[in-house]
Amino acid sequence: MRSHYCGDVNESLVDQEVQLCGWVHRRRDHGGVIFVDLRDREGLVQVVFDPDRHEMFAAAERIRSEYVLRVVGKVRLRPEGTVNSDMATGQIEVLGLELEVLSQAETPPFQLDDDRVSEEHRLRYRYMDLRRPEMFQRLKIRSNITRVLRDFLDNQGFLDVETPILTKATPEGARDYLVPSRTHQGSFFALPQSPQLFKQLLMVAGVDRYYQIVRCFRDEDLRADRQPEFTQLDIETSFMDEDQIMALTEEMLREVFAKVLEVALPNPFPRMPYAEAISRFGSDKPDLRIPLELIDIDDVLKDVEFKVFSGPASDPKGRVAALRLPKGAELSRKEIDDYTKYVGIYGARGLAYIKCNDVAAGREGLQSPILKFLPDEAIATIMQRTGAEDGDLVFFGADKANIVNESLGALRVKLGHDRGLVKRGWKPLWVVDFPMFEWDEKDDRYTALHHPFTAPSSDISPETLQENAATALSRAYDCVLNGTEVGGGSIRIYREAMQTAVFRTLGISDEEAQDKFGFLLDALKHGCPPHGGLAFGLDRLVMLMTGASSIREVMAFPKTQSASCLLTNAPSQVDDKQLRELGIRQRAQQASK
Ligand code: ASP
């Protein structure tokens, strides 16, 4: 049907006949001549219909936006003065010789080049939305990225192995999506939150190097930029330590950035211990493009009379930190109030600050409601430690450490963006030396910071694990890119005694461990190699690489924030018959759509 894509017609084809298929992007009637911009995934080309050919011209008069056409025509240079330099094919046009309407179209639900269309509308008519060139470009880049990733891993001897989608519920942090079993009524499959245990079993099986581009499912409340189903590049290897795994996978990222974006990422990626990331940036995924840092001043303030500072400064679970904003003294009262509200989202009860007008003049050169509470030497040390200069502003956070970290960490990023301080370019980072466990105040027990199959650092034995739970470090690593966690993984436990010790530390009884993870514990008894791996969030990686504003923009058919599909209306009610077959009866309160 077709000799060329519309977007590929160029001067080299002048005087030749081409056969094109595509959608009517725009149709213009110009005093007896009809111009149609014909569009396909590769771009637009202008087709001209002359009135001399009556029948074809009459047909051209009836075509509307988004009709699907087949056109046979002759390529010619555009007349002098009508060249369109904004268009890739703007030097030429195609004189229509034959026209066939393959498909008609109703009035489009929105103009493809209208960028004010709501996301709801776009999702409802996603097939129209995907006709927009920037959407197609993202799908194309995504496809390029996965191809380069696969090529790299294939060349390194990795095997692409599929793992089950209908599987067993495993607690890995989030809520499971459940699927009722018809053949075992009352029992449920879970959709995998990740293939974690299967990839470990593949290592026990001797597969040695595994990868999979795999859909994962987590039934979380969709805060921020999450999707109920998302894609991971999942990797596992045997007989490699964390340094080798990080080296190999960062090589893979360098390759994909070089091949897809022609960008050279650093070699090697820098590494930073978790504790340092939290202390300097208030976050375990610091955006290193932003040159602002949290500075500890607990020691300076623990004895001052001002309780707002001395309280958290002398509390082992508290923290007082300063954040210097260069040229921040120019912030208005209103801007400072807005930042105070902003840190409130993270639980901060206030946002103290000092404006630095003339640092050399000491107290007199500074401006702040809190100055009167602070002794001279504390002020001097704060100025000196933060490196404050004339015209700067220093913010303070004083509270429970996690509140200070989260609020100042978020403020740091917001200031970076608001004040144009974000450096251009790519800043990858490995965060390492994570704590093994986190104390969960609500449940009064430890939870695994990564997941329960992560190995503790090598100086810990199963016998000493429990008593060192608060301070034990793990062999986990996260890959952070420009402030987004794009990947994470760990060296795994490969001995049953250690796996059991971890379950016990997490408050999982031996029976529960047997019930939920018996198959893993059994496998560990049958010759398990030392192994480890990681998973990259493919959607996030593609989002960053395409400069998209959300992962929804790089998925063909994403769901809404409330986990529904506006295109198909899923989830939806099912027939009673289907439920009966599954042995399921709905409670009186029908699930809302
Ligand atoms: N399964 C982990 C996750 O989904 C990644 C890993 O440890 O390999 O986060």
Q: Pick from 172, 176, 194 the residue to mutate for probing ligand 1's pocket: most ligand atoms within 8 Å of its CB.
A: 194
Average pLDDT, the chain: 95
Report the pLDDT value the prediction gives residue 172, as an integer from 0 to 100.
Answer: 52
Question: H/E/C letters for each residue in 68-116?
Answer: EEEEEEEEEECCCCCCCCCCCCCCEEEEEEEEEEEECCCCCCCCCCCCC
- For range 368-376, the mean pLDDT: 94
CA 315 – CA 322 distance, rounded (Å): 17
490 CA: nearest ligand 1 atom: 7
Cβ-Cβ contacts under 8 Å for 493 (sequence gap 6 or more): 453, 454, 455, 499, 502, 524
Does the pLDDT of residue 102 top 70, yes or no? yes
> Is residue 154 assigned to a domain?
yes
Residues 356, 262, single domain; the answer is no
- For range 363-377, the mean pLDDT: 95
Q: How confident is the model at residue 510 (pLDDT cuts 50, 70, 90)?
A: very high
> Is residue 188 assigned to a domain?
yes
Residues 175, 81, single domain; the answer is no
Backbone angles phi, psi at 98, to 5 degrees: -140, 145
186: number of Cβ within 10 Å: 9
pLDDT digits (tens, 9 = 90+) for 428-442: 999 999 999 999 988
CA 442 – CA 437 distance, rounded (Å): 15
Tell me how far the alpha carbon of residue 539 is from its chain's centroid. Answer: 6
Report the pLDDT value the prediction gives residue 31, as an integer from 0 to 100.
Answer: 76
CB–CB of 7/42 below 8 Å? yes
DSSP structure class, residue 188? E
Give the pair of three-digit tokens for residue 224: 């921020």
Contacts within 8 Å (CB) and 24+ apart, 564-572? 564/593, 565/123, 566/120, 566/123, 566/124, 567/123, 567/124, 567/125, 567/126, 567/127, 569/593
Residues 454, 459, 463, 468: what is their CA dihedral angle, to the nearest 10 degrees? -80
> Is residue 564 assigned to a domain?
no
Whole-Å CA distances, 567 to 110, 226, 302: 15, 19, 58
- For range 30-38, the mean pLDDT: 92
Does the pLDDT of residue 170 top 80, yes or no? no
Does the pLDDT of residue 473 top 90, yes or no? yes
- For range 43-66, the mean pLDDT: 95
CA 441 – CA 420 distance, rounded (Å): 38
pLDDT digits (tens, 9 = 90+) for 312-350: 999 999 999 999 999 999 999 999 999 999 999 999 999
CB–CB of 48/95 below 8 Å? yes
CA 194 / ligand 1 centre spacing (Å)? 7
CATH of the domain at 190: 3.30.930.10
> Is residue 516 assigned to a domain?
yes
Using DSSP, state whether 554 is helix, strand or coil: helix
CB–CB of 351/370 below 8 Å? no
| Percent share of the chain, pLDDT over 90 | 93
Does the pLDDT of residue 39 top 50, yes or no? yes
Q: Pick from 209, 246, 534 the residue to mutate for probing ligand 1's pocket: most ligand atoms within 8 Å of its CB.
A: 534
Residues 394, 451, single domain; the answer is no
- Residue that finishes a domain, picked among 87, 103, 119: 103
> Is residue 112 assigned to a domain?
no
Does the pLDDT of residue 544 top 70, yes or no? yes
Residues 443, 535, single domain; the answer is yes
Does the pLDDT of residue 590 top 70, yes or no? no
Q: Pick from 232, 233, 477 the residue to mutate for probing ligand 1's pocket: most ligand atoms within 8 Å of its CB.
A: 232
Backbone angles phi, psi at 28, to 5 degrees: -125, 135
pTM score over 0.85: yes
Does the pLDDT of residue 593 top 50, yes or no? no
Angle at 288 between CA 366 and CA 475, to 5 degrees: 125
CA 386 – CA 149 distance, rounded (Å): 43
> Is residue 565 assigned to a domain?
no
Residues 439, 497, single domain; the answer is yes
CA 545 – CA 199 distance, rounded (Å): 27
Lowest-confidence segment of 49-53, 224-228, 269-273, 386-390 by average pLDDT: 224-228
534 CA: nearest ligand 1 atom: 8
Residues 242, 320, single domain; the answer is no
Residues 257, 311, single domain; the answer is no
236 CA: nearest ligand 1 atom: 8
Residues 264, 361, single domain; the answer is no
The strand pair at 92-103 and 68-77 is best described as antiparallel
Q: Smallest Cα–Cα separation from 190: which of 217, 213, 214?
A: 217
Residues 304, 224, single domain; the answer is no
CATH of the domain at 383: 3.30.1360.30
* 167 strand-pairing partners: 190
CA 487 / ligand 1 centre spacing (Å)? 8
> Is residue 580 assigned to a domain?
no
Cβ-Cβ contacts under 8 Å for 238 (sequence gap 6 or more): 203, 206, 207, 208, 209, 529, 530, 531
CA 441 / ligand 1 centre spacing (Å)? 24
> Is residue 172 assigned to a domain?
yes
Does the pLDDT of residue 224 top 80, yes or no? no
Give the pair of three-digit tokens for residue 12: 């080299």
CA 236 / ligand 1 centre spacing (Å)? 10
pLDDT digits (tens, 9 = 90+) for 405-420: 999 999 999 999 999 9
Whole-Å CA distances, 93 to 19, 69, 83, 560: 13, 16, 9, 41
Backbone angles phi, psi at 43, to 5 degrees: 145, -165
Does the pLDDT of residue 220 top 90, yes or no? no
Pocket of ligand 1 (CB under 6 A): 194, 196, 488-490, 533-535
Angle at 349 between CA 345 and CA 353, to 5 degrees: 105
CB–CB of 321/407 below 8 Å? no
Report the pLDDT value the prediction gives residue 80, as an integer from 0 to 100.
Answer: 86
Using DSSP, state whether 241 is helix, strand or coil: coil
Q: Which domain holds residue 507?
A: 136-271+429-554
- Residue that finishes a domain, picked among 372, 391, 422: 422
Report the pLDDT value the prediction gives residue 504, as an integer from 0 to 100.
Answer: 96
Residues 550, 434, single domain; the answer is yes
CATH of the domain at 64: 2.40.50.140
Per-residue b/e over 436-473, b at no fewer than 16 CB within 10 Å? bbeeeeeeeebebbbbbbbbbeeebebeebeebbeebb
Backbone angles phi, psi at 277, to 5 degrees: -60, -45
The strand pair at 393-400 and 352-356 is best described as antiparallel
- For range 175-195, the mean pLDDT: 95
Tell me how far the alpha carbon of residue 310 is from its chain's centroid. Answer: 39
232 CA: nearest ligand 1 atom: 4
- For range 570-593, the mean pLDDT: 84
What's the total number of domains in the chain?
3
Report the pLDDT value the prediction gives residue 171, as an integer from 0 to 100.
Answer: 61
Residues 300, 413, single domain; the answer is yes
Residues 308, 417, single domain; the answer is yes
